[in-house]
Amino acid sequence: MSSTEVSGILENSKELDRIRKEQEEVLVEINKMHKKLQATPEVVEKPGDNSLSRLKVLYTHAKDLSESEVTISSMLLTQLDALLPSGPPGQLRRRMGNDPKRKRMKTDSDISRISNNVRSQLEACANLKGEQVAARVRLDEADKDEWFVVKVLHFDKETREFEVLDEEPGDDDEGGGQRKYKLPMSRIIPFPKRNDLSNVQDFPTGSQVLAVYPGTTALYKATVVNGHRKRKTDDYLLEFDDDEENGSLPKRTVHFQKVVPLPEESRQ
């Protein structure tokens, strides 16, 4: 084994370590962006926001690093195979194959797992077809956005847009009849499902939420009066903003399936 051959292996090993460290840094940045978009999805609609562009750059960088990792790993395998003896003395080859360091040089990288998470989120959106969800819609250019209950007709994975149907438009809707809208993911909030309580969020007393006002299909900002429920399926007792009667806010009961987290832009 020549010193040149050993030097080549060491250089590629150092490069592989550098790539993996850079991958970890990129993953941290991607996770930060994911948390930001999950907490405030509406930020992507603000003028001048570059969150999605930044996320695309990070994913592209992560993909390039993953491909570089595969290339360097393949080079190292080729170099090592050329130096290992063939035939019966191949016991050394088997020991090296079980080396934990070699196991870390894998193509199923963390980047692939993140991509799978994104695909899972898109699949979850596609599975909302036929379900009722909360949607933020601007009925008129001069009006403010309003939240109300709609039915999901379709989710386009390419454009990441929902097609939804307002089944019960208000009396002041001059268009009359049911109306369809196309909305981005950031304007949709799924309701909790009775048959899947694992993801049902608990809202403690004093929490601000978005809830369907009793007897309507509209959602308004409300405060949880009693969040100490014995079961996840119990109703919430809420006080809706601007719902004053005789100088006080009446307490209204709302089913847990009609209560969702208050979006960041509504916390004003």
In this predicted model, what pLDDT tens digit does every residue of 161-198 receive, in sequence order? Answer: 999 999 876 655 555 578 899 999 889 999 988 777 77
Predicted confidence band of residue 50 (pLDDT cuts 50, 70, 90): confident
Top mean-pLDDT range of 92-96, 104-108, 113-117, 156-160: 156-160
Residues 38 and 44: their CA atoms lie apart, in Å, by 11
Token pair recorded at residue 123? 């699949």
What is the CATH number for 93? 1.10.287
Give the N- to C-terminal CA distance of the chain in Å, as an integer.
70
- Full-model pTM: 0.55
148 exposure class (CB count in 10 Å sphere: 0-12, 13-18, 19+):
buried
On the question of pLDDT at 95 being above 50, the answer is no
Q: What is the mean pLDDT of the chain?
A: 79
User: What is the CATH number for 258?
Assistant: 2.30.30.140
Same domain, 15 and 83: yes
More confident residue, 104 or 115: 115
Would you say 44 and 51 are in contact if contact means Cβ atoms under 8 Å apart? Answer: yes
What is the DSSP-derived secondary structure letter of residue 145? Answer: P
Domain count, the chain: 3
Give bridge partners of residue 156 from the DSSP assignment. Answer: 161
The residue among 110, 102, 109, 112 whose CA lies nearest residue 13 is 102
Same-domain check for residues 93 and 148: no
Tokens 């909305």 belong to residue = 183
Q: Are 96 and 118 contained in the same domain?
A: yes
Taking 60 as the threshold, does the pLDDT of residue 2 lie above it?
Answer: no
Domain with 73, as residue range(s), is 3-100+109-125
Helix crossing, 3-39 with 110-126: angle to 10°? Answer: 30
Q: State whether 183 and 94 are in the same domain.
A: no
